[in-house]
A = this chain, B = another copy of it.
Amino acid sequence: MTGHRDSDFIRACHSEPVRRIPVWFMRQAGRSLPEYREIRGPGTILRAIANPDLATEITLQPVRRYGVDAAILYSDIVTPVHGIGFGVFIEPGVGPVTEQPFTSADDLKRLRPLEPETDTPYVLETVRNLVEELTVPLIAFAGAPFTVASYLIEGRPSRTYARTKTLMHTDEKLWNQLVDRLADLAIASLVSQVEAGASALQLFDSWAGALSPADYERFVMPASQKVLSAVASLGVPRIHFGVNTGELLPLIAAAGADVVGVDWRTPLDTARTRIPSGTALQGNLDPALVVAGWEATRPAALELLERGSGGGHIFNLGHGVLPESNPEVLERLVSLVHAHPVENPR
């Protein structure tokens, strides 16, 4: 186990010179791939995640097909809370659904600490399998406290996060207890994945961009900071990602990221001005352009390669691959990125 310290992906995470711009895609594994649809079988994603042979194969598929520079563990934001039995499920076509949403201090009892080897042994078995098989770095996967909390509180995907925001504003003590427990879950999960061999990690705070900077700083940042500082000593790069986070980028970086993920709304050169030098960027092609096809993807990809230059850059989409994407477009995109002349940071 080398940690892939010399790979372009890990080097870019540390804003070090690279041979080629590294590229991977959020949700590169999954419904956009025919080979995935073939083997996925019935049941929800949580069932597939709980089957290490299947989860291993699903994680490997896009690495084989695309030649991307990193694999991302096939997992879900709710895997740990599901693992400790909070009662979170995935409703097809809807997303995570919580049967009894989090409403009061009593519900804290339903959030005991995660023991990765007994609560989610399949995750670690999958990681160990993958580390055996892969020749590229594996990225560990965890949901950030705010985004997990929003699923537990709202009960189902929300557009407004009004219940979540109401809890944080009306019972700050309970809110802090909740996100503190969720921080501990994320820490336990990430530490176990890295100890099992993952070479990097990504903290998904997908919906943090629903918050004003003031609310993010007060109610969310401390818990994310707790996670990111607890895993700093593991020695693997930490990617911190959310969508709609243009105004939050300085705070997301300050929470302790080696790499900040950015969606397509913020041009990379603009994003660069909002984070400290020495912090790398990951992103940020609009996933809808991949659906639109190669003629839409190519010029936008070339433009963003220019905007990303002048610092560490990991090419990615600004959010996950959409299920209706044509894998051929992503194949060509990897080739385009890899063929692009590298302008290394000075």
Q: Which residues does chain B contribute within 8 Å of A161, judged by CB atoms?
A: 288
Q: How far in angstroms is the closest Cβ of chain B from A9? A: 25
Across the interface, do A166 and B214 meet the contact criterion of CB distance under 8 Å?
no
Q: Which of A125-133, A135-143, A291-299 contacts B (4 or more CB under 8 A)?
A: A291-299
Q: A288 vs B244: C-alpha distance in the bound complex, in angstroms?
A: 17
Q: Are A292 and B244 in contact, with the CB atoms below 8 A?
A: no
Which residues on B sit within 8 Å (CB–CB) of A166? 288, 291-293, 296
- Does B286 lie within 8 Å of A165, measured CB to CB? yes
Would A291 and B214 count as touching, CB distance under 8 A?
Answer: no
List residues of chain B with CB within 8 A of the CB of A170. 292-293, 295-296
Chain B CB count within 10 A is highest, among A162, A213, A300, A322, for A162
The answer, among B162, B214, B289, B303, for a CB contact under 8 Å with A324, is: B162
Question: Separation in Å of the A146 CB from the closest CB of chain B?
Answer: 14
Shortest CB–CB separation between residue A171 and chain B, in angstroms?
A: 10
Within 8 A of B (CB), among A172-216: 209, 211-215
Per the bound structure, the CA–CA distance linking A212 and B286 in Å amounts to 8
How many copies of this chain are found per oligomer? 2
A61 within 8 A of B: no
Instruction: Give the CA-CA distance A211 to B166 in the complex, in Å.
Output: 29
User: Which residue on chain B has the smallest CB distance to residue A169?
Assistant: B296
Q: Does A44 contact B (CB under 8 A)?
A: no
Whether A246 is near chain B, meaning CB under 8 Å from some CB there, is: yes
The CA of A264 and the CA of B210, in the complex, are separated in Å by 9
Contact of A247 among B209, B267, B292 (CB under 8 A): B267
State which residues 260-318 of A face B: CB under 8 Å: 264-267, 270, 286-289, 291-293, 295-296, 300, 303
Which chain B residue has the least Cβ–Cβ distance from A303? B214
User: From A266, which residue of chain B is reached at the shortest CB distance?
Assistant: B247
Encoded as 1 (CB less than 8 Å from any B CB) or 0, chain A from 80 to 124 comes to 000000000000000000000000000000000000000000000
Q: Which residues from 193 to 250 on chain A have a C-beta closer than 8 Å to any C-beta of chain B?
A: 209, 211-215, 244, 246-247
| A2 CB within 8 Å of chain B | no
Indicate if the CB atoms of B169 and A289 lie closer than 8 Å. yes
How far does the alpha carbon of A296 sit from the alpha carbon of B218 in the complex, in Å?
13
Chain B residues with CB below 8 A from A292, complex form: 162, 165-166, 169-170
CB of B288 within 8 A of CB of A162, answer: yes
Partner of A246, one of B265, B287, B303: B265
Contact B267 A212 (CB under 8 A): yes
Determine the distance from Cα of A189 to Cα of B328 in the docked complex, in whole angstroms: 44
User: Contact between A214 and B295 (Cβ–Cβ < 8 Å)?
Assistant: no
Residues of B within 8 A of A267 (CB): 212-214, 247
Q: Which residues of B have CB within 8 Å of A293?
A: 166, 169-170
Q: Apart from A166-B292, A170-B295, A214-B300, what are 13 other A-B pairs with CB-CB below 8 Å? A: A162-B324, A165-B286, A165-B296, A166-B288, A169-B293, A209-B265, A212-B300, A213-B267, A244-B265, A246-B246, A246-B265, A247-B266, A247-B267
- In the assembled complex, 10 residue pairs joining A and B whose CB atoms fall closer than 8 Å, in A order, are A160-B287, A160-B288, A165-B296, A166-B291, A166-B292, A170-B295, A170-B296, A211-B265, A246-B265, A246-B266
Q: Which 9 A-B pairs have the closest CB atoms?
A: A169-B296, A165-B288, A169-B292, A166-B292, A162-B288, A162-B291, A246-B246, A212-B264, A247-B265
